[in-house]
Amino acid sequence: MCGIVGYVGKREALPILLDGIKNLEYRGYDSAGILVVDSKGKLSLAKSVGKISNLEKKITNQNFSGSWGIVHSRWATHGGVTEANAHPHCDCSKNIWLVHNGIIENFQELKEALLKRGHHFRSQTDTEVIAHLIEEIKKEKGLSLKEAVPLALKKIQGTYGLVILDRREPHLLVAARNFSPLLIGVGNQENIVASDVAAILSHTRKVVYLNDREYALITPQDFEIFNLDSQPISWRVQEIDWDLKAAKKEGFPHFMLKEIFSQPQSLEDSLRGRLLIEEGNAKLGGLERIKETLRKINRLYLVGCGTAYFAAKVGEYMLEEYAQIPTKAEIGSEFRYKKPVFLKGDALVAISQSGETADTLAAVREAKEKGVLTLGIVNVVGSSIARQTDAGVYQHIGPEISVASTKAFTSQIAILALLTLFLGRQRNLSLVMGKRIAQELSKIPSLVKKVLSQADLIKNLANKYAGYKNFLFLGRKYNFPVACEGALKLKEISYVHAEGIGSGEMKHGTIAMIDKNFPSIVLAFQDSVYEKNLSNIQEIKARQGKVIALATQGDKKIKKIADDVIYLPKTLEMLMPILAVIPLQLFAYYFAVLKGLDVDHPRNLAKSVTVE
């Protein structure tokens, strides 16, 4: 979604703003704009459609001097992708300027009222209304920017991460947040405000997160945070320990490929210090405090969106089989609206790489309001879900830059396996089985390495199948969600139609699609559902469908019936999804590269979906 950076300090703002917004490019956007103000209040403004590089071209040879400014990358919601709709937006007098991430739900009525008061609008966005509203309040009541902003915010319904300046009030940025992420990067004689920590890491690692319905007054020397009643709020500086290298491609052509190949390491990082092999258990520091409450859980909801939902679905199977807790994976955007009936002993686990996904966050809030214990499996430290859940487990995999999620998925499954161990051992999971799971989990990073060593084979398969326009992904039990994830990966970066279903469902309709032009990728490992998957392959072959099978190392039988086979090492059935998804990630990647597509920036997608 939209990216925001604001700078106020003693250095030239332009390079800092551009560097910051470029580091947010991975989030997905369609246009951008920048405003720099000098000490006399002179404005330098540029906007462009498309890449940040277009914006940079516009700025070349222009004098953008000043140590105070804002920049924005827009992901269109209200109004087309045009320069006029790109942020920053301003009031009638061109004194008040702002950038916004979120949606102002009551913008239409506010706009109509402001039009009646003589305001003149230049864009079709919901955002512009905020600038005029502040102008109106300032004028009507004779207020300064810092006095007018909270009054304006009280009139706004919707979500916002906002950074506002008034060129008549030098070196002051007002930042405000409601549901859209915003943080202050604390510097020396300078401060940076941004929607994502990636924008500030090259300048500072000290971060203060704003909470919902708070605003901050930010100057080079200082910042203060208030609630909307203008009462001061105390804050805490957090240190971000992400390695800056993680935000560079380091020789890989795309972030997606780099992140696929980083999975042995990211899995090590997620598991580090958390496996108690001899005790057949897991040590999850973030849950220690509520250990006794967890013992009493009777039912679990695992909530996520997209890839995180598929990880939740794997978790559902694990937790039911080994911890014997009734568990239900839920899609964030559905959960909130289906009016869930909570019972005593329920807990909700929100699974989210970014920790900012609006639908998942809404599910957390719904559960909290009903007094349900909420937990998070989150990657981004200090993100909204991390802060708003009662307890949780961090993924520790560093930033995931590629829009298509890969390393976050495998890490989420690994953490769900740890959670299964922990909750299982609190219940009836035997020491022997606990040890087995812990041992197999500890071997997972090296098994992932083995799978990755087959990248060339998978590249060749992508080549062989590049002409097909439809794919069916099939899997059963633990590998059903992996089939869905494989299809999602192919769709989102290759724009090829793909469907993931439980193999057993094929006969109930989808098999009608199968012919020689509709290949299937079948996850058919030697596990508890092996024979059933073999039957499904036979059924496809009987209809001239091509089959790529993912199979267990050494399985000769499958070679005779499938057209192509990718062999994977053996592990516990519940952990197989971690290995099984890797060839599917690589297949989607190579497929998209062959089509010449922009793998890291798939069309219409944003990395962190902060609007509903």
Chosen residue from 48, 307, 384, 420 binding ligand F6R by CB under 6 A: 307
Burial of 155 (0-12, 13-18, 19+ CB in 10 A): middle
Q: Are 222 and 190 in contact (CB under 8 A)?
A: no
Q: Which of 131, 308, 312, 413 binds ligand F6R (CB under 6 A)?
A: 308
- Of the residues 22, 138, 477, 607, only one is catalytic, namely 607
Give the contact letters, 548-587, x = binds to ligand F6R (CB under 6 A), - = no. ----------------------------------------
Query: Which CB atom, from 352 or from 374, has the smaller least distance to ligand F6R?
Result: 352
Name the one range near ligand F6R by CB under 6 A: 106-114, 220-228, 346-354, 418-426: 346-354
Residue 450, Cβ density class (10 Å: 0-12 exposed, 13-18 middle, ≥19 buried): middle
Q: Which two tokens stand for residue 249?
A: 């491609």
Residue 233, token pair as written in the block: 């709020």
Strands (DSSP E) contained in 369-448 are 373-378, 391-394
- Pick from 318, 329, 487, 609: which binds ligand F6R (CB under 6 A)? 609
Closest CB to ligand F6R among residues 164, 362: 362
CA distances from 410 to 266, 515, 528, 545, 585 (A): 9, 33, 22, 30, 11
Taking the complex as a whole, the smallest distance from the CB of residue 608 to ligand F6R amounts, in Å, to: 6
For 33, the enclosing helix (H) or strand (E) is: strand 31-37
Alpha helices in 126-171 (DSSP H): 128-141, 145-155
Q: Closest approach of Cβ 571 to ligand F6R, in Å?
A: 24
Q: Is 500 a binder of ligand F6R (CB under 6 A)?
A: no
**Binding test (CB under 6 A) with ligand F6R, winner from 262, 360, 388, 479:** 360
In this structure, what token pair is assigned to residue 490?
Answer: 């192919």
- Give me the catalytic one of 2, 90, 305, 484: 2
Q: How far is CA 88 from CA 77, 96, 169, 446, 454, in A?
A: 15, 10, 17, 48, 47
- Picking from 99, 40, 83, 38, the residue whose alpha carbon sits closest to that of residue 63 is 38
Rounded to the nearest whole angstrom, what is the least distance from the CB of residue 333 to ligand F6R in the complex? 10
The correct pick among 38, 91, 316, 492 for binding ligand F6R (CB under 6 A) is 492
The distance of closest approach from Cβ of residue 88 to ligand F6R in the complex, given in angstroms and rounded to an integer, is 27
Please, which residue, 7 or 309, has the CB nearer to ligand F6R? 309
Of 247, 290, 70, which Cα lies nearest the Cα of 175?
70
- Give the span between the Cα atoms of 386 and 371, in whole angstroms: 17
Do 402 and 597 form a contact (C-beta atoms < 8 A)?
A: no
- Write out the two tokens for 152: 């304006």
Q: Does 259 bind ligand F6R (CB under 6 A)?
A: no
Cα(603)–Cα(606) distance, integer angstroms: 9
Residue 371's region, left for phi above 0, alpha for psi from -120 to 50, else beta, is left
Whole-angstrom distance, CA of residue 594 vs CA of residue 587: 11
Residue among 523, 518, 519 nearest 504 (CA): 523
Query: Per-residue x/- marks for ligand F6R, 403-422, CB under 6 A?
Result: -xx--x--------------
Part of the chain binding ligand F6R (CB under 6 A), chosen from 122-130, 184-192, 276-284, 352-360? 352-360
Contact between 335 and 351 under an 8 Å Cβ cutoff? The reply is: no
Which of these segments, 106-114, 118-126, 299-307, 441-449, binds ligand F6R (CB under 6 A)?
299-307
Nearest distance, CB of residue 609 and ligand F6R, angstroms: 5
Q: Is 305 in the site for ligand F6R (CB under 6 A)?
A: yes
Which of 204, 354, 395, 420 touches ligand F6R by CB under 6 A? 354
Q: How far is the CB of 503 from ligand F6R (least distance, A)?
A: 23
Which H/E stretch holds residue 599? none
- Stretch touching ligand F6R by CB under 6 A, among 304-312, 415-423, 555-563, 572-580: 304-312
Number of separate helices (H) and strands (E) present in the chain: 20, 26
Q: 297-313 b/e with 16+ CB inside 10 Å = b? A: bebbbbbbbbbbbbbbb
- Asked whether position 357 contacts ligand F6R by CB under 6 A, the answer is yes
In the complex, minimum distance from the CB of residue 381 to ligand F6R, in angstroms, rounded to a whole number: 14
Residue nearest to ligand F6R (CB): 306
Is 607 in the active site? yes
Number of residues that bind ligand F6R (CB under 6 A): 16
CA 165 remoteness from chain centre: 29
For ligand F6R, the binding residue among 127, 204, 281, 608 (CB under 6 A) is 608
Residue positions counted in the chain: 612
Work out which of 73, 262, 353, 389 binds ligand F6R, going by CB under 6 A. Answer: 353
Q: How far is the CB of 389 from ligand F6R (least distance, A)?
A: 13
| Closest CB to ligand F6R among residues 357, 388 | 357
Nearest to 159 by CA among 609, 577, 529: 609
Give yes or no for a contact between 24 and 75, defined as CB atoms under 8 angstroms apart: no
Binding span for ligand F6R by CB under 6 A among 220-228, 258-266, 348-356, 437-445 = 348-356
* Least distance between ligand F6R and beta carbon 256 (Å): 9
Q: Pairing between strand 346-352 and 299-304?
A: parallel
Instruction: Tell me the closest approach of the beta carbon of residue 82 to ligand F6R, in angstroms.
Output: 26
Nearer Cβ to ligand F6R, position 103 or 408? 408
When asked if residue 306 is in the footprint of ligand F6R (CB under 6 A), the reply is yes
Considering the complex, state which of residue 166 and residue 259 has its C-beta at the smaller distance from ligand F6R. 259
Residue 535, SS3? Answer: helix
Binding segment toward ligand F6R, per CB under 6 A, in 65-73, 112-120, 204-212, 400-408:
400-408
| Beta carbon of residue 482, minimum distance to ligand F6R (angstroms, whole number) | 13
Residue 551 near residue 537 (C-beta atoms within 8 A): no
CB closer to ligand F6R out of 309 and 567 = 309
The percent helix, strand, coil of the chain (3-state, each to 5) is 40, 20, 40
Q: Which stretch binds ligand F6R (CB under 6 A): 49-57, 234-242, 305-313, 498-506?
A: 305-313
> Which active-site residues does the annotation give?
2, 607
Sites of contact with ligand F6R (CB under 6 A): 305-308, 352-354, 357, 360, 404-405, 408, 488, 492, 608-609
